[in-house]
A and B are shown apart, each in its own frame.
Chain A
Amino acid sequence: MQRLIGLSPLILFLIVSVGLGLGLANDPRKMPSTLIDKPIPSFTLPPLEKGGANFSSDDLKGKIALLNVFAPWCGSCRVEHPLLMALARSGEVPIYGLNWKDQRGDGARWLAANRSPYVRVGDDRSGRFGIDLGVSGVPETFVIDRTARIRLRHAGPVTDEIWRTSFAPLLADLEKRR
């Protein structure tokens, strides 16, 4: 017993170290979304170009889809662009785009130059809808299920690894449920 008490500073140090170590392993940038399992807030956004169709929450009902928040000024978005294009080509899941805080209106031009993986794009010029989604930067990608609920939010570019470990299993699971 005496030995245990004598060792208590060391034991306490180890406990605190483990606690702090676990804390440091958490990335504060990966904030959990408060909207998981909640319905996506209803919205209607104008298209990128005049004459196009609006993008609203109704478009997301009844299907499993991805909502990708991007911006033409965003470098990381270019990193995930090839993956999104491959997804779009495979037709595995429809991707809807949210053009976030594009003050200069470069979105349409950027997509025309780089090709668009999106079924439809909404222009969130002020970023106000992004706030409703808890968006803190670009890119962010959401998985929306058939009942228009948000099931997953990934902040940062989607890489092959992340697709394999986070998105693919969820999509497979959602497909199974009818």
Chain B
Amino acid sequence: MLLLPVALFALSSPVRAVTPDEMLKDPVLEARARAISQKLRCVVCQNQSIDDSNAPLAHDLRILVRERLTSGDTDAQTTSFIVARYGNFVLLQPPFQLDTLLLWAGPAIFLMVTALGFWRHFARPSVAVPATSPFTRDEQERLDALLNSGSSP
């Protein structure tokens, strides 16, 4: 019985905000438009792409993307058109350039530092620490006697 809602959930696709009247007649262009839109951030909602967002500005930008494609722009030209106006922040995947180097390399560096730490800790033989007893000899003997007598049922 649980299988039905699970199956329906698994088969459902995420809701897109593209309305039928926005869609281009040419399926190739429309597919390109969808792909480009999914990589552009909605600057109003900020965590959604313009393909997903219901914001009016996202609608305007979706139309704009389709206009640029229809007028013959390549995918790269269409994307740069939007980036020229809104900045690199509008790209959901930040470009790989000098100021985003830390962003891209950061996790890898972090992982390497952690791996190094692990290696140093586990791979090296640990230095034997001479055991110094906190008890004097006398106390140790009394302790042993007490423990031994206590262990017998």
CA distance A40 to B99 in the complex (A): 26
Residues of A within 8 A of B56 (CB): 101, 127
> For the complex, is A166 an interface residue (Cβ under 8 Å from B)?
no
Within 8 A of A (CB), among B71-93: 83-87, 89
Residues of A within 8 A of B89 (CB): 28, 31
> For the complex, is A8 an interface residue (Cβ under 8 Å from B)?
yes
Interface centre among A28, A33, A34, A101 (most CB of B within 10 A): A34
Among B15-23, B31-39, B57-65, B135-143, which stretch is in contact with chain A? B57-65
> For the complex, is A12 an interface residue (Cβ under 8 Å from B)?
yes
A5 to B, closest residue via Cβ:
B120
Within 8 A of B (CB), among A27-61: 28-29, 31-35
Within 8 A of A (CB), among B39-71: 43-44, 46, 56-57, 60-61, 64
Residues of B within 8 A of A9 (CB): 117
Known A-B contacts A128-B60, A131-B60, A131-B64; the reply to A137 vs B44 at CB < 8 A is: yes
Give the shortest distance, in Å, between A13 (CB) and chain B (any CB): 12
> For the complex, is B101 an interface residue (Cβ under 8 Å from A)?
no
Residues of B within 8 A of A131 (CB): 60-61, 64, 85
CA distance A29 to B43 in the complex (A): 8
Give the shortest distance, in Å, between A167 (CB) and chain B (any CB): 22
Whether the pair B85, A28 counts as a contact (CB closer than 8 A) is no
Whether the pair B60, A134 counts as a contact (CB closer than 8 A) is no
CA distance A139 to B55 in the complex (A): 16
**Interface size grouping (class) on chain B:** 10 to 19
CA distance A8 to B116 in the complex (A): 12
A126 to B, closest residue via Cβ:
B60
Whether the pair B87, A127 counts as a contact (CB closer than 8 A) is no
Whether the pair A134, B57 counts as a contact (CB closer than 8 A) is no
Whether the pair B44, A134 counts as a contact (CB closer than 8 A) is no
Residues of A within 8 A of B43 (CB): 31, 136
Q: What would 8 more interface pairs be, CB under 8 Å, given A33-B87, A101-B56, A136-B86?
A: A8-B117, A28-B46, A31-B86, A34-B87, A127-B60, A128-B64, A133-B85, A136-B57
A interface, CB within 8 angstroms of B: 5, 8-9, 12, 28-29, 31-35, 101, 126-128, 131-134, 136-137
Show 18 A/B contacts (Cβ-Cβ < 8 Å), sorted by A: A5-B120, A28-B89, A29-B46, A31-B43, A31-B89, A34-B83, A34-B86, A127-B56, A127-B57, A131-B60, A131-B64, A131-B85, A133-B85, A134-B85, A134-B87, A136-B43, A136-B86, A137-B44
Q: Which 5 A-B pairs have the closest CB atoms?
A: A136-B43, A134-B85, A34-B87, A134-B86, A31-B89
